[in-house]
């Protein structure tokens, strides 16, 4: 016999009444461009426009609103690299609770500043989120402050599930929902809301989670029917860079979620550029995994589909790197190396061929020195802007036709 779920639809519905006090009802936007790729109507649930820039404020507020007056007086403590920190800070300010947030030393400066700006005390400690988490737990033991877990608590899961109820009200004919998953709080909450509500309505809604392939603890955990921690996590999607699923969300996800798939770092980069160019949306990598899954064909949706853009808190420096990587992955920015005879006019010929084929040179490096460069030869390294892989290949073919051999350099 299946055990009762630790979070129910009734819990999410109560949470919805609670969060109305503080969160905004984020908009839903139709994406015709992504719809053409997916072959279905596709909508974005724009939690990147939520207060504090992500969905995290929902779960944090529901959890903290249930604290007793004595617990509120003791204050709360949390650990996060960004989104949970800001969510707890906003929730604490709204409830009049003192919040202490431990963040790793390498946390993005904009996220640290924003967390302090919401009124929380920020303590930078540890090289990783896990180390900051241990520091936060020690602080809770020493001071009596209530520890607010980012995902592994029924009330947090119920709070995140309010997105699902909103989404169903905004898109009543919903058939498929796709969202990112790290520890699992968002996916579990959304699954409870949509699966149980759909059951009441006599229909079914497919719910799919997406992880970055270098931080994917859920596929092996679901296969083993037990929590399987990762030994290493490495992804630009820091919002879902979680090495071990939460027990509470895992118990829900294994019962309700239809599938959990993974996407590559390059797919994430391409998805972020797509969102910037085609949807005019600033979304962090963790919030773009669902878009990446549709663009790469990792998910084949059925019927009306919604993708939850879970957050928009991205460090501008990371955005710069991601854009560069995304342009390279899509063939729009390419570095090539060409060996040629060291004689006048060779570089001019290459420039003419590139210009004639409507590509643009942004940088040229010219050297005669190097162990692989023979006497009388020169190496030219060129950064090119093209319209994509097909256009780039046209440029390369034109170069080869005139005796040059361009070699693409990996990014």
Residue 246 backbone phi and psi in degrees, to 5: -80, 145
* Distance separating alpha carbons of residues 101 and 162, to the nearest angstrom: 24
Q: Quote the DSSP letter at residue 165.
A: H
- Cβ atoms of 130 and 103 within 8 Å: the answer is no
Alpha-carbon distances of 232 from 242, 247, 265, 304, 347, rounded to whole Å: 10, 19, 15, 36, 46
Residue 391 backbone phi and psi in degrees, to 5: -65, -40
Question: Of 31, 54, 56, 251, which one is the catalytic site residue?
Answer: 56
Selection from 43, 302, 4 nearest residue 167 by Cα? 43
Question: Of 54, 80, 251, 310, which one is the catalytic site residue?
Answer: 310
Selection from 96, 105, 40, 48 nearest residue 71 by Cα? 96
Annotation marks residue 269 as catalytic: no
Residue 315 CB contacts under 8 Å (≥ 6 apart), including other chains: 108, 109, 110, 111
Q: Quote the DSSP letter at residue 277.
A: I
In 46-153, alpha helices (H):
56-65, 69-74, 83-95, 109-117, 129-143
Other C-beta atoms closer than 10 Å to the C-beta of 335 total 17
Annotation marks residue 98 as catalytic: no
* Distance separating alpha carbons of residues 315 and 318, to the nearest angstrom: 5
Packing angle between helix 154-170 and helix 9-19, nearest 10 degrees?
Answer: 80
Q: Which two tokens stand for residue 388?
A: 């994509």
Query: Which residues belong to the active site?
Result: 56, 310
């Amino acid at each position: 016999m299946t055990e009762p779920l630790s979070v129910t639809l009734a819990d999410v519905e109560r949470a919805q009444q609670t969060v109305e006090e503080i969160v905004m009802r984020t908009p839903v936007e139709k994406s015709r461009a992504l719809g053409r790729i997916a072959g279905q109507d596709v909508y974005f649930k724009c939690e990147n426009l939520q207060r504090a820039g992500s969905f995290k404020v929902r779960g944090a507020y529901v959890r903290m609103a249930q604290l007793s007056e004595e617990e509120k007086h003791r204050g709360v403590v949390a650990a996060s690299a960004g989104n949970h920190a800001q969510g707890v800070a906003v929730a604490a300010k709204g409830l009049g609770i003192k919040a202490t947030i431990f963040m790793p030393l390498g946390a993005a400066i904009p996220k640290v500043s924003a967390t302090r700006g919401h009124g929380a005390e920020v303590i930078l400690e540890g090289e990783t989120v896990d180390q900051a988490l241990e520091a936060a737990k020690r602080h809770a033991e020493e001071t009596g402050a209530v520890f607010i877990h980012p995902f592994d608590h029924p009330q947090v899961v119920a709070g995140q599930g309010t997105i699902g109820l909103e989404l169903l009200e905004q898109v009543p004919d919903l058939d498929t929902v796709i969202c990112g998953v790290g520890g699992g709080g968002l996916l579990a909450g959304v699954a409870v809301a949509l699966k149980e509500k759909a059951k009441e309505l006599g229909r079914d809604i497919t719910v799919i989670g997406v992880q970055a392939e270098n931080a994917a603890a859920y596929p092996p955990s679901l296969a083993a029917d037990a929590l399987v921690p990762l030994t290493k996590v490495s992804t630009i999607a820091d919002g879902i860079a979680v090495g071990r699923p939460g027990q509470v969300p895992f118990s829900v996800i294994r019962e309700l979620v239809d599938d959990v798939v993974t996407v590559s770092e390059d797919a994430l980069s391409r998805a972020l550029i797509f969102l910037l160019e085609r949807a005019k949306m600033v979304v962090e990598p963790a919030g773009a995994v669902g878009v990446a899954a549709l663009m790469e064909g990792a998910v084949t949706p059925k019927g009306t589909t919604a993708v939850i853009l879970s957050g928009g808190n991205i460090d501008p420096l990371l955005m710069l790197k991601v854009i560069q990587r995304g342009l390279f992955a899509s063939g729009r920015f390419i570095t090539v190396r060409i060996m040629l005879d060291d004689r006048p006019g060779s570089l001019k010929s290459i420039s003419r061929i590139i210009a004639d084929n409507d590509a643009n040179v942004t940088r040229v490096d010219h050297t005669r020195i190097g162990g692989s460069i023979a006497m009388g030869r020169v190496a030219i390294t060129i950064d090119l802007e093209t319209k994509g892989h097909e256009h780039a290949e046209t440029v390369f073919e034109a170069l080869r036709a005139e005796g040059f051999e361009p070699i693409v350099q990996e990014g």
